[in-house]
Amino acid sequence: MIENPTTETAEYDELDEDYPFDQDTQPARDVLIDGPELFPGDTGTLPLKLRQALIRLLRGPYLDASSSDNVYNTVVDNQEQLRVRLSELFLELVVDEHHKVALLRPVEMAEPHTTALQRQREMTREETLLLLRMRLVLDRHSGTGNEATIARQDILDVLEQYVDPQAHDAKGVEDLADAAIRKLVTERRLLLPTELDDVWVISNALPLALPYEHIGDIITFMNSLTEAPAEPDTAHEAPAADAVPETEHDGEEPA
């Protein structure tokens, strides 16, 4: 008995209509929902501007409204979208609209592989003392409309007051001060350059790095650092100071 040859062909024709075998046929990318494809194989959904802002946040240490490319405003206007992506990495977006600063903070979880992506470097005793004094200066300028500044001589005065004179002579104190200044300027960006070589503006991100609610707590902590003699290369970390991560800052990028 000879089967009808057209029956099998008809079945395949019907399958072809419902399940096309052309692997090159892909649904068109919906640019209104997914945004434009930025590179071959792009499966992201954020537009270029938000992706750049996300990279800037991850690079750290923080964003502020003084940047010329308005990345801070981009973050503020798109907080919810960014929070979704950052939550996947166990990172929290912190926005201080009063000081106009945004930064990332690791969430606290006891599960494995949930630690921060950015390693935190503990601050030296000298850096800690300077940041605490800077926080006092910044609080005194709060509401005045003037920028809080600190000079190199002020920094030397702070360290001379707290450094053991038997451990460091005048030249040693200057070396400690200059090393701390370099790190606070280039790595943590909590000291911002001015037109004067030996004067810096104190960053508005400092209250997020040292979130003390009472000024007396700052003075108490400073005094506690002086109760025990300092030892070279001994690190001390102020409470919550890791809110501003150490990072390599390689310039501003438009976003």
pLDDT, tens only, 122-177: 677 788 888 888 988 988 888 787 889 999 999 999 888 877 777 778 888 899 89
In contact, 199 and 151? CB cutoff 8 Å: yes
Quickly state the pLDDT bin for 234 (edges 50, 70, 90).
Answer: very low
How long, in residues, is the chain?
A: 255
Q: Which residue has the higher pLDDT, 120 or 71?
A: 71
Average pLDDT of every residue of the chain: 75
Question: pTM of the full predicted structure?
Answer: 0.62
User: What is the b/e burial string over 198-222, where b = at least 16 CB atoms within 10 angstroms of the residue's CB?
Assistant: eebbbbbbbbbbbebeeeeebeebb
125-243: same fold as 48-106? yes
Determine the residue type at 120. Answer: Q
With both helix axes pointing from N to C terminus, report the angle between 48-59 and 79-87 in degrees, rounded to the nearest 10. 60
pLDDT band at 181 (very low <50, low <70, confident <90, very high): very high
Cβ atoms of 160 and 173 within 8 Å: the answer is yes
Residue 3 confidence (pLDDT): 52
Domain ranges of the chain: 48-106, 125-243
Q: Which residue has the higher pLDDT, 57 or 222?
A: 57
Predicted pLDDT of residue 153: 94
Q: Which tens digits make up the pLDDT trace of 85-127?
A: 999 989 999 998 888 889 898 888 888 777 766 555 667 778 8
135's tokens: 């926080």
Which residues lie closer than 8 Å to 104 by C-beta, 6 or more apart?
57, 58, 60, 86, 91, 92, 93, 94, 118, 245
The CA–CA distances, whole Å, from 230 to 141, 224, 237, 252 equal 31, 11, 14, 37
User: What value, to the nearest 5°, has the Cα angle with vertex 93 and ends 193 and 70?
Assistant: 50
- Integer Cα distance of 245 and 242 in angstroms: 6
Task: Please give the residue that has the higher pLDDT: either 148 or 27.
Answer: 148
Listed range (32-36, 50-54, 186-190, 193-197) with the worst mean pLDDT: 32-36
CATH number for 48-106 (one of 3.40.50, 1.10.20, 2.60.40, 1.10.10): it is 1.10.10
**Per CATH, is 125-243 categorized as 1.10.10?**
yes
